[in-house]
Amino acid sequence: MEPADSLSRDYYVGPLFTLACLLVSVASSSFFGRNIGEISCRYRLDYSPNGRAFGIWGIIYTGCVVVCVVEITGLVPVLSSEVFFLWGGCWLFCSLWVPLFDDRRTCLLGGALVSIGSGAGCALAGAAVAKAWVPSQSSVLSLAPALVWPLSLLGGWLLTASALNVGILLKATDPDSDKSCVVVAPQKATESDLQFEGRRRALIREANAKAPANVAFEVWILAFVVALVTILVKDPVVALPAVWAIFNMRAFPAAEYIYAVIVCSLGLVGAVASAIAESE
């Protein structure tokens, strides 16, 4: 992290690169994202969170834009270029994931898993490089947590989403699995794209609301993986998306899910302890 009073002339390249990659991701979602909801519904998992959980994307996008714009001004300490390039790389993998998340061929879903996993890896690596939560005697690092949290949140959410992608891929390759939670009638000639989209989403929401609230053992695996990664990255924010997702699962507050939240919370505490230990 560079002090605001000693920035190099090209300090703004990193934030601009991240913003450009974010726009590519947004454009990809706009062009190819229409079938994501249907596929997620078709291969609904017991540990799929309710739709409101995905509202976290609005926070992640907004946080990324705000941080990059603030960094471009040069009025505050600027994160290293390596962090921004990893952040931008994560957005590029996200943009690639959208068109690959298609069940027409199993290889596409496999490619989507590789893409979202790579995106998670880039974001988590960026958060680890930033070391935002490692205490320092220098005041330069005092703003680090406020500047890095959108990246950490993105990495944690993609790590959680990767678990969903694994489950969907396994279900898509299982010939005996139920591959449809709702059948959406084709768009009518008199129906606009907006009207069809509204009808489709309403049917999916209705089907999701009627889905059984089964406790999924996969949540335990996710909780332990998230806790371990959070400690390794030394950033407590990484664990928050998994906790948010668990809160929004249909079986919550089942005792097993409460225990999973506790495991994630222990990872959060461990990340802070690990960061403090590194500074000593």
Please choose, from the candidates 25, 37, 43, 13, the residue with its C-alpha nearest in 3D space to the C-alpha of residue 154: 25
Residue 245 lies in a domain: no
CA distance linking residue 207 with residue 183, whole number of Å: 10
Q: Is residue 31 part of a domain?
A: yes
> Residue 152 in contact with residue 238, Cβ under 8 Å?
yes
Q: Residue 81 is part of which domain span?
A: 4-180
Instruction: Taking residues 86-108, report their average pLDDT.
Output: 91
Cα-Cα-Cα-Cα torsion 90, 223, 239, 234, nearest 10 degrees, comes to -90
- Total domain count for the chain? 1
Task: Please give the residue that has the higher pLDDT: either 104 or 182.
Answer: 104
Q: What is the pLDDT of residue 180?
A: 63
255 lies in a domain?
no
Does residue 151 lie in a domain region?
yes
Which one has a higher pLDDT value, 80 or 155?
155
Kindly state whether residue 250 falls inside one of the protein's structural domains.
Answer: no
Over residues 112-128, the mean pLDDT reads: 96
CA dist., res. 157 & res. 31, Å (int): 22
How high is the pLDDT of residue 88? 96
pLDDT at 273 over 70: yes
21 lies in some domain? yes
Q: Find out whether 36 and 98 touch, Cβ atoms under 8 Å.
A: yes
pTM, two decimals, is 0.87
